[in-house]
């Protein structure tokens, strides 16, 4: 290998991947037992299960890069919100089925494109993990895309709900492509995907569907930012308080 | 909607030769299939029992679903999610199997949500600690397996076949529950206490899962004759106790029954009197979580109404477009 990979930067990026999958999976799990019908209950928990599995794999890659003795579970259950690296969109509340569906669709398009690109990473463990995750997120996308269309082109109520979801979510999406100096270095080395190129691809694909669904992209809003630097919304703290409760209340136990 | 066959048969005498042939078929251990003639009471008994079973799987998602977001490790979270998802899948199979008797899932759901149909009383108890995930898997799924393994040989084909797959998954659920208990019982004092409290909470309600004692069971004799049931409530309960006591001893936990002791003569464990009044109260709707559980299902159904309507409307629009194009 010609250039030395910046391990610290790669570690942070692996956390970003893992934290994104975990927070998405955790939110989807809230639907378990409460889905709009049984088949969807099963589908939503299935996606959740895949995402938590991806999180575990990415945490394990981060563990392998690190000198300290932290485990994947330590990373998930013993870090506070300022140490989480996910973009804010993945920690947003589950909302109604329209909001969950559109959010999932945005992430699914992103994940398919991202893992396709990461499959070619020069860092082999990441390339292998991305190839595995890619097979699953392709199914997720098929499902969420079909639902976005089904809901948007059906009843008035569903359409209103989808438009509201789009208004509320749209300006959280640019953060998916955010980079910093350290990530740019990894991009240049071919270790991680070129996020700027992905942004163009993502916008093309998503806007085509939104247009077909007769949904209008809102003109302005607060453009989310900060997750990469550990700056999050108010929602993440509550999520972690719930998720980390046992590990915090009974430190050092085996479960 | 009930099928024509069922409504037509209302109040009419069933032909003796058909009844005799039906019973003979059952006695020969042949399966009854959906298109076969069957007595109305057999059909009704199965619809009642199978739909209660399906409802129990669906309501049964809630007490454990309660801990998915708080599971202590990534592995535990994934296992619990997969398990609760299995329960939803079981509900689906059994609803489908019940539909072969001429009743729709919509109607069955309606009966659940309006409180007309029952589900297993065990799910009306709360799960305040993580150890309840262990106790439910170990005891509740353990009791369910005792009840369900004989159902794999039930005389009604679709029910019997759905139980084969369900029992395989339940046995995995039972083992994961016991494994949670094992880890807790070997853990810190706080974890052991947590496990003991969960056992204290779950023990008696799991014994009640086998239903009233044989002297008071209204449906048993006929169901045995029809080979829907193979063992009596008390027989299955005893089998469960005999299998479970050594497991509790192995864990170092104490079963909350001072009268529990091995009886050399019978080769079984004797146990204390079950509080039947509690069971009948919970069945009547007066358990600790009856209202919450049913309300959670009603909320899911009502909040999902617009989604189901949207999916239907979309499908109609697609069909119309397709027809216009043709």
Chain B contacts of A59, Cβ < 8 Å? 74
**Domain A7-249 belongs in CATH node 3.40.50.1860:** no
Q: Which domains does chain B have, with CATH numbers?
A: 16-325 (1.20.1260.10)
pLDDT band at A4 (very low <50, low <70, confident <90, very high): confident
What distance in Å separates residue B158's CA from the closest CA in chain A? 20
Among positive and negative, which fits the CA dihedral A39, A42, A45, A47?
negative
Could you read off the pLDDT of B195-242 as tens digits, one per residue? 999 999 999 999 999 999 988 877 678 999 999 999 999 999 999 999
d(CA B88, CA A32): 9
> What is the chain A residue with the closest CA to B71?
A243
Could you read off the pLDDT of B259-294 as tens digits, one per residue? 999 999 999 999 999 999 999 999 999 999 999 999
At B1 the pLDDT is: 36
Could you read off the pLDDT of A201-227 as tens digits, one per residue? 999 999 999 999 999 999 999 999 999
User: Which chain B residues in 86-145 lie under 8 Å from chain A, judged by CB atoms?
Assistant: 88-89, 91-92, 95, 130
Give the SS3 label for residue B270. Answer: strand
At B95 the pLDDT is: 97
At A33 the pLDDT is: 94
Q: What is the DSSP letter of B289?
A: T
At B11 the pLDDT is: 67
What distance in Å separates residue A73's CA from the closest CA in chain B? 6
A50 contacts: CB under 8 Å, gap ≥ 6? A25, A136, A137, A140
pLDDT at residue B2 tops 90:
no
* Contact with chain B for residue A99, Cβ under 8 A: no
Could you read off the pLDDT of A62-83 as tens digits, one per residue? 999 998 889 999 999 999 999 9
What distance in Å separates residue A4's CA from the closest CA in chain B? 32
d(CA B119, CA B90): 14
Spatial contact of B158 and B231, defined as CB atoms under 8 Å apart: no
What distance in Å separates residue A42's CA from the closest CA in chain B? 6
Mutate to test the interface with A, among B55, B59, B80, B85 (most CBs of A within 10 A): B85
Give the SS3 label for residue B188. Answer: coil
Domain boundaries of chain A, sorted by first residue: 7-249
* Contact with chain A for residue B195, Cβ under 8 A: no
Mean pLDDT for chain B? 94
At A210 the pLDDT is: 98
Q: What is the pTM of this model?
A: 0.95
**CB within 8 Å: B307 and A151:** yes
Mutate to test the interface with B, among A31, A36, A61 (most CBs of B within 10 A): A36
């Amino acid at each position: 290998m010609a250039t030395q990979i910046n391990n610290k930067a790669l570690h942070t990026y692996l956390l970003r991947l893992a934290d994104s999958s975990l927070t998405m999976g955790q939110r989807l799990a809230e639907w378990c037992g409460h889905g709009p019908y049984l088949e969807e209950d099963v589908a939503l928990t299935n996606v959740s299960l895949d995402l938590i599995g991806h999180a575990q794999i990415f945490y394990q890659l981060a563990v392998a890069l690190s000198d300290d003795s932290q485990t994947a579970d330590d990373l998930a259950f013993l870090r506070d919100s300022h140490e989480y690296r996910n973009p804010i969109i993945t920690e947003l509340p589950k909302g109604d089925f329209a909001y969950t569906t559109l959010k999932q669709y945005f992430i699914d398009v992103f994940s398919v494109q991202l893992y396709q690109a990461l499959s070619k990473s020069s860092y082999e463990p990441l390339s292998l993990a991305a190839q595995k995750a890619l097979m699953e997120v392709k199914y997720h996308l098929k499902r969420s895309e079909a639902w976005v269309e089904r809901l948007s082109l059906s009843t008035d109520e569903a359409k209103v709900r989808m438009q509201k979801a789009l208004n509320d979510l749209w300006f959280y999406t640019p953060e998916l492509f955010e980079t910093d100096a350290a990530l740019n270095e990894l991009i240049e080395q071919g270790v991680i995907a070129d996020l700027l190129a992905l942004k163009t691809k993502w916008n093309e694909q998503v806007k085509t569907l939104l247009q077909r669904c007769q949904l209008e992209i809102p003109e302005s809003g607060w453009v989310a930012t900060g997750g990469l630097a550990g700056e999050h919304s108010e929602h993440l703290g509550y999520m972690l308080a719930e998720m980390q409760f046992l590990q915090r209340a009974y430190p050092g136990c085996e479960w | 909607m009930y099928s024509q066959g069922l409504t037509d048969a209302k109040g009419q005498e069933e032909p003796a030769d058909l009844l005799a042939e039906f019973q003979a078929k059952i006695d020969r251990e042949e399966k009854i299939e959906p298109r076969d003639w069957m007595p109305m009471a057999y059909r009704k008994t199965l619809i009642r029992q199978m739909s209660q079973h399906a409802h129990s799987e669906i309501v049964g998602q809630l007490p454990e679903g309660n801990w998915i977001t708080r599971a202590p490790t990534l592995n535990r979270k994934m296992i619990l999610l997969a398990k609760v998802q299995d329960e939803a899948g079981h509900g689906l199979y059994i609803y489908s199997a019940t539909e072969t008797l001429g009743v729709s899932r919509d109607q069955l759901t309606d009966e659940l949500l309006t409180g007309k149909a029952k589900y297993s009383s065990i799910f009306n108890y709360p799960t305040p600690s993580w150890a309840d995930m262990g106790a439910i898997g170990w005891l509740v799924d353990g009791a369910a397996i005792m009840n369900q393994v004989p159902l794999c040989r039930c005389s009604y084909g679709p029910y019997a076949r759905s139980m084969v797959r369900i029992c395989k998954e339940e046995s995995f659920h039972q083992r994961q529950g016991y494994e949670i208990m094992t880890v807790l019982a070997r853990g810190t004092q706080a974890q052991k206490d947590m496990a003991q409290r969960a056992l204290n909470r779950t023990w008696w309600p799991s014994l009640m899962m086998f239903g009233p004692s044989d002297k008071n069971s209204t449906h048993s004799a006929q169901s045995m004759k029809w080979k829907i049931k193979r063992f009596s409530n008390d027989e299955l309960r005893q089998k469960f106790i005999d299998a479970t006591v050594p497991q509790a001893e192995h864990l170092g936990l104490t079963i909350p029954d001072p009268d529990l002791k091995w009886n050399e003569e019978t080769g079984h464990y004797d146990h204390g009197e079950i509080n039947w009044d509690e069971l009948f109260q919970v069945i009547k709707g007066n358990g600790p979580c009856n209202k919450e559980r049913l309300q959670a299902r009603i909320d899911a159904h009502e909040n999902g109404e617009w989604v189901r309507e949207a999916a239907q409307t979309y499908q109609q629009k697609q069909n119309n477009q397709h027809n216009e194009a043709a």
